[in-house]
Amino acid sequence: MEFAQQLVNGLTLGSLYALIAVGYTVVYGIIQLINFAHGEIFMIGAFGALSTWLVFFDGNTSVWVLPIMIIGAIAASVIVAVLMERVAYRPLRNAPRLAPLITAIGISVFLQELVRLGYNNPLLFISTWNPFNFPSAKQKVPFPQIDVVTGAAFNLGGVTIQRSTIFTIGALIVCAAGLFYFVSRTRTGRAMQAVSQDPDTARLMGINVDRIIVVAFVIGATLAAVAGVAQGLQVTNINFKMGFLAGLKAFTAAVLGGIGNVWGAVLGGLTLGLVESMAVQFIPGTFGGSPWKDVWAFAILILVLVFRPQGLLGAKVVDRA
């Protein structure tokens, strides 16, 4: 019983990680860049959904609000991600590898601070104009609870299944299927595959590599935004710091599965989620329990990077300097 319960918890957690991890993997697959700021895109998705709700549906908890919130979340994330690519990453495409990594750290800090300072006061210190009565993002902000997802939990033979769990896992299935269709069946998707294999040859074949890179960022941001909504519904409050740890875990998941491999990211995310929730329950002694679960996640990250850097599903990579 305990095991089944932790299985459900682990799958929920894992689905969230997987949704974010896919974004890491898609971007890495195309331009070999660890987009450190991807966790912040996830955070901005959650705040985008919250803003949509506060502006248009304050107090309304009907079912049909949810899809519009998701659209709002996606819009916010995609805009930020595309801007980020255009302003910060594109000029550095041929720079030494250290440069974009440091840029990414800079963007990550910048976006966190922008949300912290600017959420209820978009003009920062010029005036305290707050058009929609947004709450301050300096503390935890309650996330709108939509009835259909936050109603009474199901009980399946002693195992509690929250409705938000079903939403999260469902979102992962829908997104993964959509991504699979996109990558394998559409022209743009096949162009993405080509670019990830060999950008120069792809360019010779008439593929607009810049556009494909933007598409990769858009896909990653979309999935991160969905994850942001799912996280908000599950944990019931969001804050400006939520992106950092989530991003780190998702990166772990992406590496675990084999970075650059979409199915690997899904598998890695689920595995990481399961390991974390099992570790909380079944590791005996003083080093078990939830205070140490992040430590186990990072330990897995390090072990995987050291002993199987290509990940579970990844192909052997010759040079990853």
Partner 1 sequence: MSTVDRTEGETPVSSTERMQTRFGSRAALLGIAGGALLLLSGLLSWSFDDRVLGDLSIRFYPAGIQIYAMVVGVVGLVLGLLLLRRPAWLDPGRGLRALGYGSLAFVLAALISIAYQAGGLVNVNEGGWVGLVGAALLLAAGLLSPARHLDVHAWPRLASWQEISIIVVLLAVLLFTTAYTLNIDDAATFGCLLIVILTVAISLLGSGFGGYVGFIGQNNRRPLLLAAFLVAFLFPFTQDGSDANMSIATQILIFAATALGLNIVVGLAGLLDLGYIAFLGTGAYVGAMLSQSAFATIGWKPPFLVVMLLGMMVASIFGLIIGTPTLRVSGDYLAIVTLGFGEIFRLAMFNLDGNNGPELTNGPNGIPAIPDLNFFGFDFGATHTLAGIPLGRFSNYYFLLLVLIAFVILVFTRLNDSRIGRGWVAIREDERAAEAMGVNVFGLKLLAFAVGASLAGLAGTIKAHQDTSVTPDQYIFLESAFLLAAVVLGGMGTVAGVLVGATILKLLPEKARVVNDYRLLIFGLLLVIMMRFRPEGIVPSKRRQLEFHEDDEELVELAQTEHLEAK
E strands, the chain, are 141-142, 154-156, 159-161, 237-238
Q: For partner 1, which residue of 3, 180, 181, 298 counts as binding (CB under 8 A)?
A: 298
Nearest residue (CB) to partner 1, 90 versus 211: 90
Cβ-based neighbours of 212, under 8 Å, separated by 6 or more: 30, 188, 191, 192, 195, 202
Q: For partner 1, which residue of 117, 183, 194, 312 counts as binding (CB under 8 A)?
A: 117
Query: Does 91 sit near partner 1 (CB under 8 A)?
Result: yes
Site for partner 1 in 252-281 (CB under 8 A): 252, 255
d(CA 44, CA 181): 26
Shortest CB 200 distance to partner 1, Å: 20
Part of the chain binding partner 1 (CB under 8 A), chosen from 74-82, 126-134, 169-177, 289-297: 289-297
In terms of Cα–Cα distance, which of 203, 206, 156 is closest to 8? 156
Q: How many helical (H) and strand (E) elements, i.e. helices and strands, does the chain have? A: 12, 4
Q: What 3-state class would DSSP assign to 237? A: strand
Q: For partner 1, which residue of 101, 194, 312, 313 counts as binding (CB under 8 A)?
A: 101
Q: For partner 1, which residue of 31, 80, 114, 272 counts as binding (CB under 8 A)?
A: 114
Structure tokens at 7: 């299985």
Q: Look-up: residue for tokens 């979102």? A: 171
Bridge partners for 156 per DSSP: 159
Shortest CB 234 distance to partner 1, Å: 22
Structure tokens at 249: 């875990």
Is there a contact between 46 and 137 (Cβ–Cβ < 8 Å)? no
Q: Classify residue 240 by its DSSP letter.
A: T
Query: Does 283 sit near partner 1 (CB under 8 A)?
Result: no
Query: Does 321 sit near partner 1 (CB under 8 A)?
Result: yes
Q: Classify residue 314 by its DSSP letter.
A: P
The contact pattern for partner 1, residues 217-256, with x = CB under 8 A and - = no contact, is ---------------------------x---x--xx--x-
Part of the chain binding partner 1 (CB under 8 A), chosen from 47-55, 189-197, 201-209, 306-314: 306-314
Nearest residue (CB) to partner 1, 42 versus 167: 42
* Site of interaction with partner 1 (CB under 8 A): 34, 88, 91-92, 95-103, 105-114, 117, 124-125, 244, 248, 251-252, 255, 286-287, 289, 291-292, 294-295, 298-299, 301-302, 305-307, 309, 320-321
